[in-house]
Amino acid sequence: MSSPDAGRDRSSYPPVVVLLGGPSAEHDVSVVSGSAIADSLIEAGLDVRQVLLDLDGGWWWLPEGHRRGNRPPAAFDDPSSLGAEGPLLVGAAIDRLAAARPEPVVFIGLHGPFGEDGTVQALLEAAGIAYTGSGVAASAIGMDKALQKRLWRGLGLPVVDWLEVRAATWARDRVAVLDQLEAFAGLDDPRLMVKPARLGSSVGMTLAHDASEREPALDLAFRYDNLAVVERYLAGARDLEVSIIGTEPPLGVYGPGEVIAGHEFYDYEAKYTPGLSETSTHAELPEAMRQLVHKLSRDAYRALGGEGFARVDFLLAGDRHVISEINTIPGFTPISLFPTLPAEAGLDFTAVCLRVLDLAIARHAARTDHRLRPEDLPR
Ligand SMILES: Nc1ncnc2c1ncn2[C@@H]1O[C@H](COP(=O)(O)OP(=O)(O)O)[C@@H](O)[C@H]1O
Ligand SMILES: [Mg+2]
């Protein structure tokens, strides 16, 4: 793994465009992540421009030198009040990025649908623009709690048992779905976690303690997605998180850190209310379990075809351990675990951002080398 001062000379970096906000329920979290990334790259001496995506999908160029400071995310609801230029529709925005010279590299600081699920990755890919993190397929699977579990279980990796419920089935026959949930629930502990399949930050999730709480839980999940994932609740589980940086082996694997949720589970409020939950960058674990968690993180990431970076989360209950989920664009604030776990290996927040940029630039260069010429076609 590279040391903090390895990598390229700062002045040799291309201009960086940080995307933040986005048309997803995780908009506000992304404003904080994207601003932190931009701040650290500006302080590292890079040429940084921030582009805010509003909830309607409009793209706004924030003024050069913009810093969030202590503005709350809601201050970005009216981007023109911040001096931003826009909104550009997606096609015009991509054209503008593609035409910029020198060619920029896009640091995607978005979370959730559109930004983390392969959509924006596909737009940038189609326009030949360099971008950070996973490509289209890994992003799509990484966002989808049902697809990733099918993949991991198929490979024999440990995941919790789950049920998938489609909104159309729920709309057609609630009683049949509720019966199915009761048959699935444990007899001694009937608690179920009900989640929208493709979201993050615990938005739309409910811990449904008994049969009476299933119906509102599914209604809530279906406000955000047309597929819900239902899992048995792992009582008393520890929440462990591992950071991965790299595309080819050897991957940098850092942590696990641990979250001690201030609520019954790590819900939105527990995640984002300062002081409510505790995090540790070093989970106390027997060495053999630590090694196993590292191996499973690499396996889970490589199964998806992850590129650049990701956070892999685990639930540990007694001697049971399962891979809970993967985040291909995890929380990236100065107090988030993803960018702070690598500190144990000497990589600070800025070094993590630079390493992620290096990987994006290297991938882009490799793609350019593979451009097809007529003589490459099987004619
Ligand atoms: N099956 C489960 N058993 C126990 N706790 C769970 C389970 N699923 C989720 N949780 C808790 O809820 C939190 C959020 O769930 P997660 O699946 O990670 O959703 P998100 O993608 O929104 O972060 C987890 O960090 C964990 O604390
Ligand atoms: Mg999570």
Mean pLDDT within 219-233 = 96
Residue of 265, 277, 311 to mutate, ligand 1, most atoms within 8 A of C-beta: 265
Q: What is the pLDDT of residue 266?
A: 84
- Does residue 1 surpass a pLDDT of 80? no
What is residue 314's three-state secondary structure? strand
The alpha carbon of 103 is separated from its chain's Cα centroid by a whole number of angstroms, namely 25
- Full-model pTM: 0.95
Token pair for 293:
């968690």
Residue of 117, 152, 161, 193 to mutate, ligand 1, most atoms within 8 A of C-beta: 193
Domain edges within the chain: 10-132, 142-157+235-328, 162-232
Which of the listed CATH numbers 3.30.1490.20, 3.20.20.60, 2.40.50.140, 1.10.3720.10 matches domain 162-232? 3.30.1490.20
Is residue 272 part of the annotated active site? The answer reads yes
Under CATH, to which class is 10-132 assigned?
Answer: alpha beta
User: To the nearest whole percent, how much of the chain has pLDDT over 90?
Assistant: 86
Q: How far is CA 82 from CA 31, 52, 70, 75, in A?
A: 14, 11, 13, 8
Nearest atom (ligand 1) to Cα of 313: 18
Q: How far is CA 334 from CA 45, 82, 134, 340, in A?
A: 18, 23, 21, 7
Mean pLDDT within 121-126 = 97
What residues are in contact with ligand 1 under a 6 Å CB criterion?
A: 160, 193, 195, 200-202, 205, 231, 233-234, 237, 239, 261, 265-266, 313, 315, 324-325
User: What is the Å distance from ligand 2's center to 14 Cα?
Assistant: 33
In the set 35, 201, 243, 336, the catalytic residue is 201
| DSSP string of 59-88, one letter each residue | EEEPPTT---TT--GGGGSSGGGGT-EEEE
Is residue 325 part of the annotated active site? The answer reads yes
Q: How many CA atoms lie within 13 A of 36 on its CB side?
A: 25
Fold of 142-157+235-328: D-amino Acid Aminotransferase; Chain A, domain 1 (3.30.470)
- Does residue 3 surpass a pLDDT of 70? no
For 60-110, write each residue's pLDDT tens digit.
999 999 999 999 999 999 999 999 999 999 999 999 999 999 999 999 999
Q: In whole angstroms, what is the distance from residue 240 CA to residue 260 CA? A: 9
The pLDDT-based confidence of 371 (bands split at 50, 70, 90) is: confident
For 248-278, write each residue's pLDDT tens digit.
999 999 999 999 887 888 888 887 888 888 8
In the set 21, 26, 30, 204, the catalytic residue is 26
Mean pLDDT within 177-184 = 97
What is residue 253's three-state secondary structure? strand
Q: CB count, 10 Å around CB of 153?
A: 15
- Mean pLDDT over each residue of the chain, to the nearest integer: 94
For 19-40, write each residue's pLDDT tens digit.
999 999 999 999 999 999 999 9
More confident of the two residues 334 and 348: 348
User: What is the Å distance from ligand 1's center to 93 Cα?
Assistant: 35
Residue whose CA is at the smallest distance from ligand 1 atom 16? 202
